[in-house]
Amino acid sequence: MRLFRHIPSVPADASGAVVAIGNFDGLHRGHQVVLAAARAQADADGRALALMTFRPHPRRFFRPDEEPFRLTPFRGKVRAIAGLGVDTLLVCRFDGKMASITAEDFIETLLHNGLGAAHVVVGHDFAFGNKRRGNPAMLQAKGGELGFGVTIVEPAKDASQEIYSSSVIRQALQDGQPERAAALLGRLWEIEGRVLTGDQRGRTIGFPTANIDPAEYVQPARGVYSVRAGVTAGDETQWFDGVANLGVRPTVDGHRLLLETHLFDFAGDLYGKYLRVALVDHLRAERKFENFEALKHQITVDCEQARENLATYAAKSGDSVGF
């Protein structure tokens, strides 16, 4: 997959593609339906598949002081998009200039003249242009005038007829229901980042942890989770079972929010390594213990329960983690 950050940088041999457009935060099952429709159109027309998205998320641009809401960081988003068979990824910078472009110019200048889009695929609720004045019906009408086709994908629903949406997934995570989030995503939800150098207290009680900063993500319920932890080196990720605490460590009067992950059956130094932590289930809420002995006992219990839950998960899922 080729990645471009500016429309002028897109080479001539990447023009004329079928283009799917959206924010695609989370790449959930609903987004995957949009991309599947675009892939089918590209295959039918004998064309490449391109995806156009935006960074930062427009919501972050317009509401910079809002609490973190992202489901997927840029690195994870690119990985997920590549895993869905996209040929070209165009990441447009969403800034004041992009926010002020009219819906008509978005279509003519960016899609038609800039990308030479042969066909455009969007979700039913796609909005674009200054003050979100552009909608799929307008795109379809204008595409007819300019000579490119437009497919509008209707909302995809789960077995209970609930529409797949990023907001529903965020709520599931905040409610301590990572299983529900995984069902909507089509894979386990992950937090990823560089392992930080901590105070190494876990080593003193026999449970060393790899700590990463989750501050840029939507905040799931605090507490202890059964997890699959992936240690990434280059393009390879080695996965381990584990248990993780998302919280501020009240037993040691901590204040900084961290995701502390203890990997089962792992030996080695993880400081500075890139770690992916996939939440499987929520074991319990975070709480303050009277002393380290009480904490150590509870962690032992948590580890036993996590091993049991992860064995069940692996048997049911075939140990599928994500993209």
Q: What is the mean pLDDT of residues 232-248?
A: 91
Q: What is the mean pLDDT of residues 39-65?
A: 95
Percent residues over pLDDT 90 in the chain: 74
Q: How confident is the model at residue 291, as a pLDDT?
A: 82
pLDDT for residue 122 is more than 80: yes
- φ, ψ (nearest 5 deg) of residue 312: -65, -45
Q: Compute how many other C-beta atoms are within 10 angstroms of the C-beta atom of residue 317.
A: 13
Q: How confident is the model at residue 293, as a pLDDT?
A: 87
Q: How confident is the model at residue 254, as a pLDDT?
A: 67
The residue assigned the tokens 């007829």 is 161
- The mean of the pLDDT values for the chain is 91
Report how far residue 264's alpha carbon sits from residue 268's, in angstroms, rounded to the nearest whole number.
12
Q: How confident is the model at residue 109, as a pLDDT?
A: 95
Q: 202 vs 8, which has greater pLDDT?
A: 8
pLDDT for residue 125 is more than 90: yes
Q: How confident is the model at residue 193, as a pLDDT?
A: 93
Tokens coding 4: 């471009």
pLDDT for residue 323 is more than 80: no
Q: What is the mean pLDDT of residues 163-174?
A: 95
Whether the CB-CB separation of 198 and 52 falls below 8 Å is answered with no
Q: What is the mean pLDDT of residues 134-159?
A: 95
Q: What is the mean pLDDT of residues 286-310?
A: 91
- φ, ψ (nearest 5 deg) of residue 55: -145, 125
pLDDT for residue 52 is more than 80: yes
Q: Compute how many other C-beta atoms are within 10 angstroms of the C-beta atom of residue 44.
A: 10
Q: How confident is the model at residue 203, as a pLDDT?
A: 56
pLDDT for residue 202 is more than 60: no
Whether the CB-CB separation of 232 and 274 falls below 8 Å is answered with yes
Q: Which H, E and C letters describe the chain, residue by residue?
A: CEEECCHHHCCHHHCCCEEEECCCCCCCHHHHHHHHHHHHHHHHHCCCEEEEEEECCHHHHHCCCCCCCECCCHHHHHHHHHHCCCCEEEEEECCHHHHHCCHHHHHHHHHHHHCCCCEEEEECCCCECHHHCECHHHHHHHHHHHCCEEEEECCCECCCCCECCHHHHHHHHHCCCHHHHHHHHCCCEEEEEECECCCCHHHHCCCCCEEECCCCECCCCCEEEEEEEEEEECCEEEEEEEEEEEECCHHHCCCCCEEEEEECCCCCCCCCCEEEEEEEEEEECCCCCCCHHHHHHHHHHHHHHHHHHHHHHHHHHCCCCCC
Q: What is the mean pLDDT of residues 17-25?
A: 96
Task: Name the superfamily (CATH) of residues 181-317.
Answer: Riboflavin kinase-like (2.40.30.30)
Q: How confident is the model at residue 253, as a pLDDT?
A: 59
Using pLDDT thresholds of 50, 70 and 90, give the confidence band for residue 140: very high
Alpha-carbon distances, residue 65 vs 22, 59, 61, 68, 73 (angstroms): 23, 10, 9, 9, 18
Assigned architecture for domain 2-153: 3-Layer(aba) Sandwich (3.40)
Domain ranges of the chain: 2-153, 181-317
Using pLDDT thresholds of 50, 70 and 90, give the confidence band for residue 162: confident
Whether the CB-CB separation of 182 and 228 falls below 8 Å is answered with no
Using pLDDT thresholds of 50, 70 and 90, give the confidence band for residue 289: confident
pLDDT for residue 239 is more than 90: yes
